[in-house]
Copies of this chain bind each other. A is one copy, B any other.
Amino acid sequence: MSIANLNWVGDAIDRLRNKKPLVHNITNFVVMNTTANALLALGASPIMSHGVEDLDDLVPAADAIVINIGTIDEEFAYSMLKAVQLAKIYKKPVVLDPVGAGATRFRTRVALTLLESGGISVVKGNFGEILGLLGEFGKTRGVDAASYDRNVASEAVLQASKKFNCVVGLTGYTDFVSNGSNVYEVRLKVGSQSLENVIHRVTGLGCIVSALIGAFLAVENPLKAAIAGLATFKAVSYKASEEAVYPGSFHVKLYDWLYRIDGDIIRNVVEVREIETG
């Protein structure tokens, strides 16, 4: 299967760096700096703007849009909905990170409203968030829930991608992606204790993944963009954890490796497999 062998990822990164796509982010206050730096380090051109007055000019100019509902309030929710509606008109790809969906009714409702607009290309969440969107009793413990059941996760992305008619990514020790018909898992070839130690000790890493998917949406279709974003982050975090075993230093190295990452590194470190679905 051509998607699973990852030979195309290096080419996608090269095209991204040549294009320097304008990625418009309406994101949460905690990670605005983090995700802008991640996008710049990879090679994209982020613009961070939530003002509704800016949308008519920014959405048509953007190559892709990242919507992230962490620290959401009514003002941001309104901007996000308007941005997604404009994105649909101008045929711009949008990735949604439903941070905290399932944990609060407000966040679940905002995420579902955005998904029902029909303008979302990829939704990327953790186990609790994707389950929360599926109406199950997702008990998201904060926004960094990590524990998940592999079979449930695989089934969840398939169901969610059918329900929302878009590509769905679910992050965890292994990541899962579905386009509604196929399900893929993205994981490290060899586990890393150093990485396990620090991966949940830095904020905004899931938000970086969404931002990277946004950048890849400017040069790939939604399924490949989701896999490329997930695989790139897995490889980058693995390499960073080889150089830095504590969270502050590890965080700094993530940006260094986003700058250095290429297709060879990703294929050496990450594997993608298609999962049989019932």
Chain A interface residue number, banded: 35 or more
A275 within 8 A of B: no
Q: How far is the CA of A40 from the CA of B32 in the complex (A)?
A: 18
Contact B246 A22 (CB under 8 A): no
A163 within 8 A of B: no
A248 touches which of B22, B28, B50, B256 (Cβ 8 Å): B256
Residue of B nearest to A33 (CB): B30
Q: How far is the CA of A255 from the CA of B198 in the complex (A)?
A: 11
Contact A251 B247 (CB under 8 A): no
Which of A2-10, A137-145, A164-172, A175-183 sits within the interface? A137-145
In the complex, how many angstroms separate the beta carbon of A33 from the nearest chain B beta carbon?
5
Q: Which of A32, A34, A251 has most chain B Cβ within 10 Å?
A: A32
Q: How far is the CA of A198 from the CA of B258 in the complex (A)?
A: 12
Q: Which of A50, A70, A248, A258 has most chain B Cβ within 10 Å?
A: A248
Contact partners of A61 in chain B: CB under 8 A? 103
Interface residues of A in 237-256 (CB under 8 A from B): 246-249, 251-256
A33 touches which of B40, B106, B204, B260 (Cβ 8 Å): B204
* Chain A 97-119 interface 0/1 with B at a Cβ cutoff of 8 Å (1 = within): 00010011111000000000000
Q: Which of A22, A34, A71, A200 has most chain B Cβ within 10 Å?
A: A71
Contact A201 B32 (CB under 8 A): no
Contact A256 B246 (CB under 8 A): yes
A85 within 8 A of B: no
A252 touches which of B29, B104, B198, B252 (Cβ 8 Å): B252
Q: Which of A48, A103, A200 has most chain B Cβ within 10 Å?
A: A48
A74-B53 in contact given A36-B30, A41-B248, A201-B259 (Cβ < 8 Å): yes
- Give 29 A-B contacts (CB < 8 Å), ordered by A residue: A20-B141, A22-B142, A29-B32, A33-B33, A33-B203, A33-B204, A36-B203, A36-B204, A40-B201, A41-B247, A45-B144, A46-B203, A50-B73, A51-B71, A51-B73, A53-B74, A53-B104, A53-B106, A57-B105, A57-B106, A58-B104, A246-B256, A247-B259, A248-B251, A248-B254, A248-B256, A249-B252, A249-B253, A249-B256
Top 3 A-B pairs, shortest CB-CB distance: A248-B255, A246-B256, A53-B106
Using A49-B104, A51-B71 as known contacts, list a sample of 16 further A-B pairs with CB atoms less than 8 Å apart, ordered by residue number in A: A32-B71, A36-B203, A40-B144, A40-B203, A43-B201, A45-B142, A45-B144, A53-B104, A53-B106, A54-B100, A54-B107, A201-B259, A246-B259, A247-B258, A248-B252, A249-B255
